Structure 1
Amino acid sequence: MPVVIVTGASSGIGRATAERLARNGTTVVLAARRASHLTALADELPGAVAVPTDVRDPAALENLVAQALAVTGRIDGLVNNAGVGGVASVLSDDDAAEGMIQVNLLAPIRLMRAVVPLMRAQGAGSIVNIGSVAGEVGISGVYSATKFALRGMTDSVRRELAGTGIGVTLVEPGYIAGPANRNRKGLPGPEIVAAAVESALRRPRRRIIVPGRYRAAVLAANAFPAVADRLYAGKAAGKGAVKGYL
């Protein structure tokens, strides 16, 4: 039975991913700050292991990886899902900007650094980083900056590990139903992202944008940046909240 770490697992995309993986035979190691939510979820999922974790803390990340490794002696997958949104303008204060960088970028880097040697020794493994369409189209200030950086890091790690048996995939959601987007109607639920994550763990690929309708917008923004400039002029920073830090 494969062992997969999922960060930000207590709600939203992380919870939906953990539920889907566990339902399909994966031992899920659940990581999030909210211990009570995490324990309750672990009780619902067969074989799940709850490891309360503040992903800003390097020691907590080391403990998470150690506990995951103790399950079977392998770590087959890592899903870097924990993320923080909020006021995203470049005018945000240092605490907000640093918090986004710590959670959205440094935590995935540190976890990849911890699991890659283990996966190399196994000769196999799969890493899925949860980015954002805002990491393709600059519309959310500091938040977009962290997701652009995560995209670049994911591409780099994928190329670095080519031929090792370790797959590295970036999943980029657009707006997904949840507390951060409660004012937007008709959005798909987090299950659509969970399905993409499971698919990427099984068959790694470069990038998955979900829902699929955002692919055209990303292509257009990259092909015609002046049009995107005019479209988002004066409103690009917005709220920038795609998902909370869980």
Structure 2
Amino acid sequence: MPVVIVTGASSGIGRATAVRFGKDGWTVVLAARRPAELSETASLVEAAGGAAVIVPTDVRDPAALEALAEQAAAITGRIDAVVNNAGVGGAASILTDDPAVTAMVEINLLAPLRLMRAVVPRMRAQGGGAIVNIGSVAGEIGLSGTYSATKFALRGLTDSVRREVAGTGIGVTLVEPGYIATPLNAGRRGLPGPEVVADAVARAVRRPRRRIVVPAKYRAAILLANALPAVADRALAGRVAPKESAPAPD
């Protein structure tokens, strides 16, 4: 069985992605901080036809990410794919406090960077592999403060790594979801389920490409924001964050 690491596998897109690989008969290394939820995901992966290995991981810890890569490589001697899915949202305002900002940077940007640093040498040595980073439409259109900043940065990082490993057999793809029915969007209705993202990830592993936007309807908004930024400014003015007052002085 090929081996894939999925971070943030305890719920949402990560869980759906893990189950999708299970259906294809993969061994899925499940990484997240919540062991009970990882056990639930493991049961779903095995019911789908795959194998599951639970590795409780705090993706903010560089040593934990290196240990995750080591445990995954020990299964068959290979790491065939990595899905950097773990992510956290937060208030969109520039007034968001520093602990929330730091958490978003650590989880959304530094964790994918560190896990790629751990797996790329192994993939080079084995002659190939696939890396899929889960970005966001908010990484193309600035509308969510620090969250957008981390996803913009992840887009640049993904482009850079893809160019760095060109010719090595390692594919590097960015999957950019819009609003998806996950715990992060619990207050929204009528959203597509995380399975649409899982299917996009599976396609990217089979045939790597630069970028996949899901659902596809968001492509038009991205094109418009890039081609006519002044129009996007007017359309989004006052809507990207709740109105907050500045903190009172001490």
With normalisation by structure 2, the TM-score equals: 0.93
Contact persistence 1:61–1:111 (CA under 8 A): yes
- Residue aligning to 1:99: 103
1:34 equivalent to 2:38? Answer: no
Q: After superposition, give the CA deviation of every residue in 1:53-80 in whole Å (9 maximum; x if it has no partner).
A: 0000111111111110111010000000
Once the two structures are aligned, what percentage of the paired residues are identical?
A: 73
**Within-5 A mapping of 1:122-141:** 122-141=126-145
Q: Larger C-alpha radius of gyration, 1 or 2?
A: 2
Q: What is the distance in 1 between the residues matched to 2:30 and 2:182? A: 20
1:5 equivalent to 2:5? Answer: yes
Q: What is the CA-CA distance between 1:43 and the residue it aligns to?
A: 3.2
- Residue aligning to 1:190: 194
- Residue aligning to 1:235: 239
Q: Which amino acid aligns with 2:161?
A: V
**Within-5 A mapping of 1:105-116:** 105-116=109-120
Gaps of 5+ in 1: 240-246
- Residue aligning to 1:23: 23
- Residue aligning to 1:171: 175
**Within-5 A mapping of 1:31-180:** 31-44=31-44, 45=46, 46-180=50-184
Q: After superposition, give the CA deviation of every residue in 1:196-240 in whole Å (9 maximum; x if it has no partner).
A: 00000110000000000000000000000000001111121359x
Deviates more, 1:58-67 or 1:103-112: 58-67
Gaps of 5+ in 2: 244-250
Q: Which amino acid aligns with 1:122?
A: Q
Q: What is the distance in 1 between the residues matched to 2:41 and 2:178? A: 25
Q: What is the CA-CA distance between 1:93 and the residue it aligns to?
A: 1.1
Q: What is the distance in 1 between the residues matched to 2:114 and 2:5? A: 14
Deviates more, 1:11-20 or 1:177-186: 177-186
Q: What is the distance in 2 between the residues matched to 1:43 and 1:208? A: 29
Q: What is the distance in 1 between the residues matched to 2:78 and 2:242? A: 42
User: Where has structure 1 moved over 3 Å in runs of 4 or more?
Assistant: none
Q: What is the CA-CA distance between 1:91 and the residue it aligns to?
A: 1.2
Q: What is the distance in 1 between the residues matched to 2:129 and 2:183? A: 32
1:178–1:234 distance in 2 versus 1, CA, 3 Å = same
Q: After superposition, give the CA deviation of every residue in 1:77-129 in whole Å (9 maximum; x if it has no partner).
A: 00000000021222111111110000000000000000000000011100000
Relative contact order, higher structure (CA 8 A, sep 6+): 1
1:224 equivalent to 2:228? Answer: yes
Q: What is the CA-CA distance between 1:185 and the residue it aligns to?
A: 2.1
Q: Which amino acid aligns with 2:239?
A: K
Q: What is the CA-CA distance between 1:184 and the residue it aligns to?
A: 2.0
Q: Which amino acid aligns with 2:32?
A: A
Deviates more, 1:204-213 or 1:178-187: 178-187
- Residue aligning to 1:201: 205
- Residue aligning to 2:14: 14
Q: Which amino acid aligns with 1:85?
A: G
1:238–1:216 distance in 2 versus 1, CA, 3 Å = farther
Q: Secondary structure at the match of 1:48?
A: strand
Q: Which amino acid aligns with 1:98?
A: T
Contact persistence 1:140–1:238 (CA under 8 A): no
